[in-house]
Amino acid sequence: MSNSTRRVAVTGAFGALGAAVVQLALKSGAVVAAIDYAPADSARDHENLHQFGGVDLSSSEQAGKVFLDASEAMGGLDSLINIAGGFTWETFSGSDIGSWDKMYNINVRTAVISTQSALPFLSKGLHSSVVNISANSALKSEMGVAAYTASKAAVAKLTESLADEYKGQIRFNAVLPSIVDTPVNRADMPDADFSAWVSPDELAKVILFLTSPNSSAVTGALIPVVGRV
């Protein structure tokens, strides 16, 4: 797989998965725009990395500006990877509508606005792509994650719909991970078997495959990445 000279924008780029995707993309030769709500960090500096911190992707105004700036910095855009998102666990009886609003805003609204903002700058053709992050639990949910999985199911269906709408112009795919091995998940589930989880690097490889020319025939796919869970 080669992403040489490809121009890739990654949202949620400073988290565990986002950082893994950014590092693997840079290693493969891509130019990367790393976008996050968290502040940029000079320790991450790389000659092919453009950092954009402090961006609220639920704001159309902020997203529009950052994708304009990113496109100008990279000379265009070939791929968008929507990683920005969040998780909550709570029973339905113990939740209120605020949790549902939060999951929608963090997981669905950011993906919609980021995609809308990036579309004017995305190159057109089979090598142009958008990758979204859904969840394996969007296919078969369980107690405590109703708001989260409903939002991730929306991301999956958004992906399928846009793949059909932009057929032949831009490829849209989504990965559906189980539990990703991050410091936050380890802290939340200290007794779990971490070796069964999906590592950020493993998931990053699948994501970047979907942005590469090797996946030019793949669009509208919802790809489970479940590790050994």
**Is pLDDT of 171 > 90?**
yes
Predicted TM-score (pTM) above 0.85: yes
pLDDT at 83: 98
pLDDT at 133: 98
| % the chain with pLDDT above 70 | 98
pLDDT at 183: 87
Q: Where are the domains of the chain?
A: 7-225
Q: In this structure, are residues 205 and 212 in contact, taking their beta carbons and an 8 Å threshold?
A: no
Report the pLDDT averaged over residues 134-144.
Answer: 94
Q: What is the largest CA-CA distance in the chain?
A: 50
pLDDT at 186: 87
Q: Would you call 192 helix, strand, or coil by DSSP?
A: coil
pLDDT tier, 41 (very low <50, low <70, confident <90, very high otherwise)? confident
pLDDT tier, 31 (very low <50, low <70, confident <90, very high otherwise)? very high
pLDDT at 1: 40
**Could you report how far apart the first and last alpha carbons of the chain are, in Å?**
27
Q: Which residue has the higher pLDDT, 186 or 222?
A: 222
The C-alpha atoms of residue 188 and residue 88 are separated, in whole angstroms, by 11
Report the pLDDT averaged over residues 109-125.
Answer: 97
Residues 6 or more apart in contact with residue 54 via CB below 8 angstroms: 37, 38, 39, 40
Report CA-CA distances (Å) from 213 to 94, 121, 159, 228.
Answer: 46, 19, 19, 28
Q: Which residue has the higher pLDDT, 218 or 186?
A: 218
The whole-chain average pLDDT of the chain stands at 94
Q: In this structure, are residues 23 and 43 in contact, taking their beta carbons and an 8 Å threshold?
A: no
Residues 6 or more apart in contact with residue 167 via CB below 8 angstroms: 219
Residues 6 or more apart in contact with residue 139 via CB below 8 angstroms: 176, 224
Report CA-CA distances (Å) from 41 to 9, 36, 74, 115.
Answer: 17, 11, 19, 25
**Is pLDDT of 2 > 60?**
no
**Is pLDDT of 135 > 50?**
yes
**Is pLDDT of 44 > 50?**
yes
pLDDT at 81: 99
pLDDT at 219: 98
Q: What's domain 7-225's architecture?
A: 3-Layer(aba) Sandwich (3.40)
pLDDT tier, 103 (very low <50, low <70, confident <90, very high otherwise)? very high
**Is pLDDT of 174 > 80?**
yes
CA 120 to chain centre: 19
Q: Which residue has the tokens 């666990």?
A: 89
